[in-house]
């Protein structure tokens, strides 16, 4: 490991192959100063990031690559989408999309380690793969990055070069909950008992669910990501104090990042552990809540494509949907508003015309109710989805199409 400056960085990049693949910290952990200097030094490269948020280098010679499309890459002309469940992405990194360079945003040094902080995900596999195949690992050591434990801890001898540059981390400020999200959240929360293990993403419905669980006791967290809603559960004493909180990446407020720093209650794990369906299935009363853009009468959900174009990706939803259903007492909810106000259409459709992201859930949850589907016949599934989840204005047409399919 060698400490260099940004001005010295170009001198260590001279032996890269043509059009190298770069895997960089994604989500809210992008090492922006490091990436900007790299971009000015390398004429052509492939940039691989998960859920990338802008601004990103955007010019001829830069190709975007990802298995989960964030707003920084969405609909970009150079985007190359790599279909993969999140639990399998480390396998692809190891065997198919090996990095020539890994750019990470880390904490400042703590003894002989740094920490990946709020973004672990596939980075440990990327680091190991780069080192095994002669690639470079370059860290931007940033005093604003919290020091977290678990697989986030990286020894200095796993890093080739360290650049000490401080820059603020992006934060997420949740919007106020609308009546629809609050209704969905309340309905799902009513199905969650004390001692349950939770996986919830970010957004209005997860925020509403977490907000409605403040009077529960002994809740546990095993999730790919969490935000301030989990911190709020900690504040009110709703979490099991004896069980660590397991996640793979985090984003939220500055207060959340401060709470994470040197907090041994939080265990940041690499994707192949956090998203392993078998590990998920071992969690007590595992309860998974994932959103969708559409759900059909066969309990198939589209959460990744919009108007024929990739919008996000599989992410971890298939991993947690499957893992939760295998857990004893587990539940898997797919949640969405029953009506799309801008498009003025039902989000419950007869049959998906887009590729399926997840299927076989415990229940479909909308502001209208909870439609139980697992363990029901296909006719019972369709009937429950129509009568308990679909918008009233869409039910007549959905009943007609269900009869055409032989479901009713």
Give the torsion through C-alpha atoms of 258, 320, 282, 276, to 10 deg: -80
C-alpha–C-alpha distance, residues 311 and 173, integer Å: 22
Q: What are phi and psi of 22, to 5 degrees?
A: -115, 125
Q: What is the chain's alpha carbon radius of gyration, rounded to the nearest angstrom?
A: 22
**Cβ partners under 8 Å of residue 371, min gap 6:** 363, 364, 365, 381, 384, 385, 387, 388, 389
Residue among 224, 272, 354, 372 flagged as catalytic: 224
Question: Residue 87, class by beta-carbon neighbours within 10 Å (0-12 exposed, 13-18 middle, 19+ buried)?
Answer: buried
Whether 372 is catalytic is: no
Question: Residue 164, class by beta-carbon neighbours within 10 Å (0-12 exposed, 13-18 middle, 19+ buried)?
Answer: middle
Structure tokens at 331: 């539940």
Whether 219 contacts 240, CB under 8 Å: yes
Candidates 155, 210, 156, 160; CA nearest to 186 is 210
Whether 349 contacts 379, CB under 8 Å: no
Structure tokens at 74: 């969405």
The catalytic residue positions are 224
């Amino acid at each position: 490991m060698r400490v260099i400056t940004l001005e010295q960085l170009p001198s260590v990049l001279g032996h890269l192959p043509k059009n190298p693949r770069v895997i960089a910290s994604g989500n809210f952990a992008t090492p922006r100063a490091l990436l900007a200097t790299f971009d000015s030094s390398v004429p052509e490269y492939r940039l691989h990031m998960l859920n990338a948020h802008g601004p990103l280098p955007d010019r001829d010679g830069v190709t975007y690559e990802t298995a989960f499309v964030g707003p920084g890459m969405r609909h970009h002309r150079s985007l190359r989408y790599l279909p993969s469940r999140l639990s399998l992405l480390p396998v692809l990194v190891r065997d198919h999309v090996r990095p020539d360079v890994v750019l990470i945003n880390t904490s400042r040094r703590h003894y002989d380690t740094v920490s990946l902080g709020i973004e672990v995900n596939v980075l440990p596999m990327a680091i190991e793969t780069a080192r095994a195949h002669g690639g470079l690992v370059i860290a931007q050591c940033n005093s604003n990055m919290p020091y977290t434990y678990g697989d986030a801890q990286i020894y200095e001898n796993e890093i080739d070069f360290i650049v000490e540059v401080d820059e603020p981390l992006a934060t997420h400020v949740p919007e106020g909950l609308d009546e629809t999200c609050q209704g969905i959240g309340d309905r799902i929360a009513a199905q969650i008992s004390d001692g349950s293990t939770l996986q919830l993403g970010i957004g209005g419905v997860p925020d509403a669910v977490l907000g409605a669980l403040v009077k529960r006791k002994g809740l546990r967290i095993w999730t790919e990501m969490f935000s301030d809603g989990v911190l709020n559960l900690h504040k009110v004493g709703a979490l099991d104090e004896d069980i660590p909180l397991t996640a793979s990446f985090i984003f939220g407020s500055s207060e959340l990042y401060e709470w994470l720093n040197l907090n041994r209650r939080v265990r940041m794990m690499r994707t192949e552990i956090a998203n392993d369906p078998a590990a998920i299935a071992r969690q007590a009363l595992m309860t998974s809540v994932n959103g969708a853009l559409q759900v059909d009468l066969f309990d198939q959900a589209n959460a990744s494509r919009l108007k024929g174009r990739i919008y996000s990706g599989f992410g971890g939803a298939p991993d947690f949907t499957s893992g939760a259903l295998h857990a004893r007492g587990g539940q898997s909810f797919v949640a969405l508003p029953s009506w799309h106000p801008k498009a003025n259409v039902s989000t419950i459709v007869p049959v998906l015309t887009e590729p399926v992201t997840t299927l076989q859930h415990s229940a479909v949850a909308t502001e209208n109710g909870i439609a139980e589907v697992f363990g029901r016949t296909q006719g019972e599934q369709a009937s429950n989805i129509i009568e308990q989840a679909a918008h009233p204005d869409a039910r007549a047409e959905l009943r007609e199409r269900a009869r055409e399919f032989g479901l009713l």
